[in-house]
Amino acid sequence: MFLENITLQRVLPCTANKNKIKILASLSTNVAELMPYINGTISSAVYNREAGWITFRMGEKIVTLYDRKVAVTKLLNEMDAYETLDIIKNTINEIEAGKDRITPSTETKKMPTPLDIYKMLPKKNCRECGEMSCLSFAGKVLTGQTKLEKCKILDEPIYEKEKRKLEDIFEMFGLKD
């Protein structure tokens, strides 16, 4: 078997959702060489070859693989963590076993632009976040000069879908701590 074990190392509160947890785990095998194949298989994957990580969505969860580590966010509890790590292990082994049929990809998805972020904001230009407009907020949140949480309008139930999307984008592109 390519990847024998994934060992849970740390359990932390999830930054994106305080009712959930995030975990760090170690991999028994270095998966760096498999990353282009994962990128070629999983459509949601964002691969950063230079930095040596690939991140992808697994349902609600965001999985980030490094050479010998994996981080997973938005887990319900430790039981969910163990089940998810098992799924990740099986997915990695399946991709490795089917490598001959996969076209590897080193393509890195484009970072979102302020306009991409703006499209998901409430567009009220109410200035409650301390910025002059939603577009200005979008630019600043992308460069880390402000935080997504500052837009309280996004907490309204009507924007739940957009807020979740924005949190995922920030997490997947490593724009969130």
- Footprint of ligand SF4 (CB under 6 A): 121-122, 124-129, 131, 134, 137, 151, 153
What whole-number distance in Å separates Cα of residue 163 and Cα of residue 7? 32
Indicate the pairing of strand 69-75 with strand 53-58: unpaired
Closer of 42 and 134 to ligand SF4 (Cβ): 134
- Shorter beta-carbon distance to ligand SF4: residue 33 or 156: 156
Least distance in angstroms from the C-beta of 150 to ligand SF4:
7
State the minimum distance, in angstroms, from the CB of residue 54 to ligand SF4. Answer: 30
For residue 174, the minimal CB distance to ligand SF4 (Å) is: 22
Q: Which helix H or strand E contains 54, and what residues bound it?
A: strand 53-58
Residue with Cβ nearer ligand SF4 (124 or 147): 124
Cβ atoms < 10 Å from Cβ of 153: 16
Smallest CA-to-CA distance from 114 within 89, 83, 135, 85 is with: 135
Beta strands 21-27 and 46-48: pairing type?
A: unpaired
SS3 percent helix, strand, coil of the chain, rounded to 5, is 40, 20, 40
Q: 31 or 138: whose CB is closer to ligand SF4?
A: 138
Smallest distance from ligand SF4 to CB 141, Å:
8
